[in-house]
Amino acid sequence: MRHCALLLVTVFFFGYAFGQSNSSSAASQDELARIVGYSMLSGGASDFLESLTDRIGGRITGSPESRETAELILKALKDAGFNTAHFESYEFSPGWTHGPATAEVISPVHRTLIIGSYGWAPGTNGPIEIPVEDIGASGDGHSPLPDRVRGAAVLVTLPSSMTSSLYVGTRMLLAQQLARAGAAAMFIVSDKPDRMLYTSAFLIYPRGPLPIISIPNEDASFLRRLLTHGPVKIHLDVQNSFTKGPVPERNVVADLPGSDPSEMVLLTAHFDSWDAAQGANDNGGEMATVLEAARILKQLKIQPKHTIRFVFFSGEEQSDLGSRAYVQQHKQELDQIRAMINTDAGIQAPLGLKLYGRKDLEPATKKLLEPLAALNASRVFLDADFDSDEESFMVVGVPAYSLAVEPADYHVRHHTVVDTFERIEPRMLALHTAVLAALGYTFASTDERPGKRLSPTDVKELLRRTNLESLYELDYSGEKPY
């Protein structure tokens, strides 16, 4: 019943809103109503996501599962009539295989610990027996470390209240510092409930400087309690491996050509995932909604003024590898992109668009979002972070957006064993599809661009103003996109 009620509200709103004048947009209001209505009823994103998560599951970049996913997306696009949909290949290095990881307390008592390895972190070169040391929350990547960390499994707590970019930046700086100090392994205490682990590869790629392990809060508390009574020793075996030489990967690209293809809007989502579960919320659901938005616009024979390009990136979890490759491969046409809209924050209620500090985009964007007010998806957010693939476009000055959503319990589920299809609400997938398809259509149909492409000087100023300069240095060390 709630599904039907929502649809009625939507249709009612559009019937009302379409009677009002809207001078900012050349988008047809009838077309928008058709797009939103079909998106709410199609169920296509949910069907695709169920098939993806059941048949393939987790999809680490460079893996057979990632290859299979790219093929599944391309087939769906071709079946929908996107005849020129294609792969765009790139290489990355090194590849990495997630091996088994085990740990056991061997002194003063015997007890198995739950652990998981972070991505693109090395293994232990066979089983080792090492002491446990705890530096608590004192490690910030800069402050001196105590000598006792040498040769030890070092427990660290990273405050989860930090922004995601500050969090991953601190994590990597601290890992480098621990490796220089001779630590045997870094044990990051998971902030998830119920003995859940959190693992990731972001900024650890291309190669972690030492074994980096996630340990549940409960297991860390046990070790810390033992440490109050005296020395603690563990047996640790982490069997990850790196591949030699470059690994091929692919993005998937499809165009809905505009009547004036001199400009385009990009609707994007990454299809790779972390491997703790099925990558349903990060980022299978979002990817399925971009795909379904493409299929709906095609099926309805929507003719936008400018081209809508759908891009499905691989390699996001490592360091936006796919979107960086895309920017490199398409650098001649970056001026043609009037907006890049990415979605990677979870299938929770959409709220509007994140602008990444681009105040200049705010007036035009607010106008473009007006038709989504009844869906509560017309707000703009100016906060800036390096969250996902929009970063690759932001640093080359392209107007880069992402879909802002209610946080809900994303933080708890993200990259954990419970990122499964069962946790995704089908009606939320439909709502995301509707919002994305509408955004693609409206952004591609206005006469004016929402804003200009920033010059390299303007980008530097934007990074300074948004406090992203130091993370940018860490993220793009040695390699300047501008």
Residues that bind Zn ion (CB under 5 A): 282-283, 344
Q: Which is nearer to Zn ion, 240 or 273 (CB)?
A: 273
> Which residues, listed in sequence order, are joined to residue 212 by a DSSP beta bridge?
186
Q: Hunting for tokens 């809103």 — which residue is that?
A: 17
CB of 415 to Zn ion, least distance (A): 9
Rounded to a whole number of angstroms, the minimum distance from the CB of residue 150 to Zn ion is: 36
CB-nearer residue toward Zn ion: 31 or 389:
389
Query: In sequence order, what DSSP letters do the residues of 438-463 get, joined into one string?
Result: HHHHHHHH-SS-SSPPPPHHHHHHHH
Give the nearest distance from C-beta 274 to Zn ion in angstroms.
8
* CB neighbour list of residue 149: distance below 8 Å, 6 or more residues apart: 133, 135, 178, 181, 182, 183
Q: Please, what is the minimum distance in Å from the beta carbon of residue 198 to Zn ion? A: 14
**Measured from the CB atom, is 282 or 419 closer to Zn ion?**
282
Q: How far is the CB of 312 from Zn ion (least distance, A)?
A: 12
DSSP state of 266: E
Pick the closer one to Zn ion by CB: 154 or 327.
Answer: 327
340, 282, 281: which is closest to 310 by C-alpha?
340
**What token pair was written down for 481?**
């996109």
Alpha-carbon torsion angle 239, 97, 472, 175, nearest 10: 0
> For residues 283 and 466, which CB has a smaller minimum distance to Zn ion in the complex?
283
Tokens describing residue 99? 């091996």
Residue among 133 and 282 whose Cβ is closer to Zn ion: 282
Assess contact for 198 and 317: CB atoms under 8 A. Answer: no
Cα separations in angstroms, 197 against 113, 204, 318: 12, 17, 18
Place of tokens 């959503």: 405
Q: How far is CA 63 from CA 41, 48, 94, 291, in A?
A: 34, 20, 12, 22
Pick the closer one to Zn ion by CB: 358 or 414: 414
Cα dihedral 76, 286, 466, 199, rounded to 10, equals -110
Closest residue by Cα to residue 297 from 284, 310, 287:
310
* Type of residue at 98: H
CB 344, min distance to Zn ion, A: 4
Nearest distance from residue 339's CB to Zn ion, in Å? 20
CB closer to Zn ion, 282 vs 475:
282
Closest residue to Zn ion, based on beta-carbon distance: 283
Q: CB 142 → Zn ion: shortest distance, Å?
A: 28
CA–chain centroid gap for 209, Å, is: 23
Min dist CB 283 to Zn ion, Å, is: 4
What's the maximum distance between 2 C-alpha atoms anywhere in the chain?
75
Closest contact distance (angstroms) between CB of 279 and Zn ion is 8
Nearer of residues 200 and 433 to Zn ion, judged by Cβ: 200
- Whether the Cβ atoms of residue 378 and residue 370 lie closer than 8 Å to each other: yes
Which stretches within 58-144 are classed as H helix? 64-79
Q: Please name every residue paired with 312 in a beta bridge, in sequence order, or none if there are none.
A: 252, 269
Is 430 within 8 Å of 42 (Cβ atoms)? yes
Nearer residue to Zn ion within complex by CB, 223 or 345: 345
Which of 397, 428, 118, 382 has its CA nearest to residue 276? 118
Considering the complex, state which of residue 82 and residue 271 has its C-beta at the smaller distance from Zn ion. Answer: 271
Q: 190 near 217, Cβ under 8 Å?
A: yes
- Which residue, chain included where needed, has tokens 């959190």? 198
- End-to-end CA distance of the chain, in Å? 52
Beta bridge partners of 360: none
Of 219 and 320, CB closest to Zn ion? 320
Minimum distance from residue 345 beta carbon to Zn ion (Å): 8
